[in-house]
Amino acid sequence: MAVKRMTVSLRKLSLGLALVAPLALAGDSDWQVPATWPTLSLKVGQEGTLENVKVKFIRIIDDSRCPDDPAVECYWHGAVVAQVEVDGPEKAGPVYVGLEWAKKPFPIHLDPQFDPAKKNDMLQHLQLGGRPLGKNSTLWAIRLEPRRKSTAPLESSTYVLTLALERR
């Protein structure tokens, strides 16, 4: 049986390596959300509230995660980015949060200059960590289910995104 290969551009590979470097310094410990941060799990189209911030999970705009399939060889573990609509005291409108995979998922976001109409621009706007909503709060993507089992796209109705709100 031929081994399937997922290829990524050299640019994506370079970005993936740059994102993995901070994780290597952190060792093998999982990134943990402090117990004081409220969390919320949403399916696509669902909305909820994290303290006084309304949040709605709009859609997944990119899912390049490597599947859990031994027949697939990946050179980059991938990332997933979700569009979330927020309405709070410091920010109202769309924000883009997600997770980058190395050995374990790590939160990422796209900066405010990201334009979803120019999706191929996404890597230029990728930032490590949660998405600041203002001076006093940050929205973090902390989990996304389900894991990919193959290279086939997932149905949008199957995604469940878990978010956390950090207050300062």
For residue 150, CA distances in Å to 41, 54, 73 come to: 24, 33, 11
Digit-coded pLDDT (tens) for 49-86? 999 999 999 999 989 888 888 888 887 788 899 999 99
Digit-coded pLDDT (tens) for 119-163? 677 888 889 999 999 999 999 999 999 988 888 889 999 999 999
Structure pTM?
Answer: 0.79
Q: Quote the CA–CA distance of 80 and 99 in Å, as a whole number.
A: 5
Q: Quote the CA–CA distance of 158 and 139 in Å, as a whole number.
A: 22
Digit-coded pLDDT (tens) for 88-127? 988 999 999 999 987 778 899 999 889 888 767 788 888 9
Q: CA nearest 84: which of 139, 146, 136?
A: 139
